[in-house]
């Protein structure tokens, strides 16, 4: 899509939105605020998405505002119908924008982080209420660990070797949170300490077994017989 076509699409959207707003102010359209804002957000999203579709590698940025506007349109138009899943749908739409950035241009490796964070938040938002706050926090930390683990797996050799460290830390925090909520953390610490102690004992035995044994001492050299000149004189 060339520049003239983008200007034409944007101008058309603005004219349509302006006409709808004018009709609402004149009383021709009554009680259609949700419809008006839904169409406005969706139309704006379509404009940005069209820019992205025709040139995804160089115009990757356009998918982000496009999906944001599309998500707002969904929330305004269908938020009541979605109920408790509305926030999850909005977060998934936002996450999809960053996943599309990554799929169309692998040079934008950073997109994995917001995509994974938003996806993790979407998953936590749809968990049932019977799952407590600690459990949800643990699941969120595990999702964040998976996000950084994916960064390290896909781009670790290139420019994101550091991502393995937050992945490990977040995974440990997430598992500890889940175990503490289930009152199992004390047992885990006890078993963990025992296993670490056994590991150190086995390692010490292996090290001692690999060390070379000291050579036995050499036998003393035999005493030399006295020479004739050293014999005592005869009496």
Residue 179 C-beta-side C-alpha neighbours within 13 Å: 12
Beta carbons of 117 and 150 less than 8 angstroms apart: no
Supply the pLDDT for residue 223: 61
- Rounded Cα–Cα distance for residues 103 and 161 (Å): 20
Per-residue pLDDT of the chain (235 residues; tens, 9 = 90+): 566 666 666 677 677 777 777 776 776 665 566 777 788 888 888 888 988 888 888 888 999 999 999 999 888 888 778 888 888 999 999 999 999 999 998 888 899 999 999 999 999 998 888 777 778 888 899 999 999 999 988 887 767 778 889 999 999 888 888 877 666 556 666 777 788 888 888 878 877 777 666 666 666 666 666 555 555 555 5
Beta carbons within 10 angstroms of residue 20's beta carbon: 18
pLDDT of residue 206: 79
Closest residue by Cα to residue 170 from 152, 147, 136, 203 = 147
What is the rounded CA–CA span in Å between residue 165 and residue 159? 14
Q: What is the pLDDT of residues 192-210, one digit of tens each?
A: 778 888 888 887 887 777 7
**Helix or strand run (H / E) with residue 137:** helix 133-155
């Amino acid at each position: 899509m060339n520049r003239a076509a983008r200007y034409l699409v944007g101008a058309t959207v603005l004219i349509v939105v302006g006409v709808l707003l004018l009709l609402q102010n004149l009383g021709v359209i009554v009680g259609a605020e949700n419809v008006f804002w839904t169409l406005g957000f969706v139309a704006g999203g379509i404009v940005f998405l069209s820019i992205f579709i025709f040139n995804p590698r160089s115009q990757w940025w356009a998918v982000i505002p496009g999906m944001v506007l599309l998500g707002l349109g969904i929330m305004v138009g269908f938020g009541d119908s979605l109920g408790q899943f509305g926030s999850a749908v909005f977060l998934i739409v936002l996450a999809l924008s960053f996943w599309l950035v990554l799929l169309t241009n692998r040079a934008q490796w950073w997109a994995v982080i917001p995509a994974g964070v938003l996806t993790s938040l979407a998953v936590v938002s749809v968990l049932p209420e019977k799952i407590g706050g600690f459990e949800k926090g643990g699941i969120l930390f595990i999702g964040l660990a998976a996000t950084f683990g994916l960064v390290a797996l896909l781009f670790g050799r290139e420019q994101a070797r550091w991502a393995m460290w937050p992945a490990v830390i977040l995974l440990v925090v997430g598992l500890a949170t889940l175990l503490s909520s289930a009152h199992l953390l004390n047992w885990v610490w006890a078993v963990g300490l025992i296993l670490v102690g056994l590991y150190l004992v086995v390692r010490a035995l292996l090290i001692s077994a690999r060390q070379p044994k000291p050579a036995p001492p050499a036998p003393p050299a035999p005493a030399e017989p006295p020479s004739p000149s050293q014999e005592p004189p005869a009496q």
